A and B are shown apart, each in its own frame.
Chain A
Amino acid sequence: AQSVTQPDIHITVSEGASLELRCNYSYGATPYLFWYVQSPGQGLQLLLKYFSGDTLVQGIKGFEAEFKRSQSSFNLRKPSVHWSDAAEYFCAVGAYQAGTALIFGKGTTLSVSS
């Protein structure tokens, strides 16, 4: 069955420190992978996506993610975290077939300490 696992429920990092949020997926074919960010009470904002090609994907707000097929992972990274990055982060996997929904991980809450 298709699934997405985000092992870390809550992470706290110091402002200016680097960040890595983990995401592992289970999917029978080549997955399409996404990272979304959600601020409290807000909708989802797409940070980045991977469909094919270069396995290191650049996104908005200085985020990047690396697709590692051998590890079934798509971890999100940022070299220097800002206080405004505090939010909920969701990893999602999708299929290439039209009309299929995304499957979301349970999310990781990021807190940023000063």
Chain B
Amino acid sequence: GAVVSQHPSWVICKSGTSVKIECRSLDFQATTMFWYRQFPKQSLMLMATSNEGSKATYEQGVEKDKFLINHASLTLSTLTVTSAHPEDSSFYICSASPPDSPYNEQFFGPGTRLTVL
């Protein structure tokens, strides 16, 4: 099956710093990738849809300038949390769908746990 990786798997940073999270589709090209956020004991909330070569589409309430998304290639999307604060601490998960998937099936990365001190 299709594999999606994320790096790093966990990161701890100081308040005010920026953190970049990578999402890679390892064995397929993904024109679209999705970024989700999950707070403890809560469900996954879609943050943004990342389209290769164009600007990401953000969900209502998600700050574009704080969560910078870049989808520079068909296998890589990055999420940069700028000027991170403790309230940004969360589990970030990406997903991607092969373009030839007949049912828009999506494959999820293992997630990145961000802790902001």
A, B from the same assembly? yes
- A residues contacting B by CB (< 8 A) are 32, 36, 41-44, 46, 49, 51, 88, 90, 94-107, 109
**Distance between B70 CB and nearest chain A CB, rounded to angstroms:** 17
Any A CB within 8 A of the CB of B67: no
**Distance between B101 CB and nearest chain A CB, rounded to angstroms:** 8
With contacts defined as CB atoms under 8 Å apart, how many contacts are there between chain A and chain B in the complex?
63
A43 contacts across to B, CB distance below 8 A: 93, 108-111
- B residues contacting A by CB (< 8 A) are 31-32, 34, 36, 41-44, 46, 49, 51, 93, 95, 97, 99, 101-106, 108-111, 113
Q: With A42-B110, A44-B93 given, is the CB distance from A96 to B43 under 8 Å? A: no
**Distance between A105 CB and nearest chain B CB, rounded to angstroms:** 7
Q: With A44-B93, A98-B32 given, is the CB distance from A107 to B43 under 8 Å? A: yes
| CB nearest neighbor in B for A97 | B104
B103 in contact with A99 (CB, 8 Å)? no
A94 in contact with B111 (CB, 8 Å)? no
A101 in contact with B49 (CB, 8 Å)? yes
**Distance between A41 CB and nearest chain B CB, rounded to angstroms:** 7
B108 in contact with A44 (CB, 8 Å)? yes
A102 in contact with B95 (CB, 8 Å)? yes
A104 in contact with B108 (CB, 8 Å)? no
Give the top 7 A-B pairs by smallest Cβ distance, nearest first: A43-B110, A99-B32, A43-B111, A51-B103, A101-B34, A106-B43, A44-B108
Interface-central residue, A32, A46, A101, A105, by most chain B CB under 10 Å: A101
**Distance between A90 CB and nearest chain B CB, rounded to angstroms:** 6
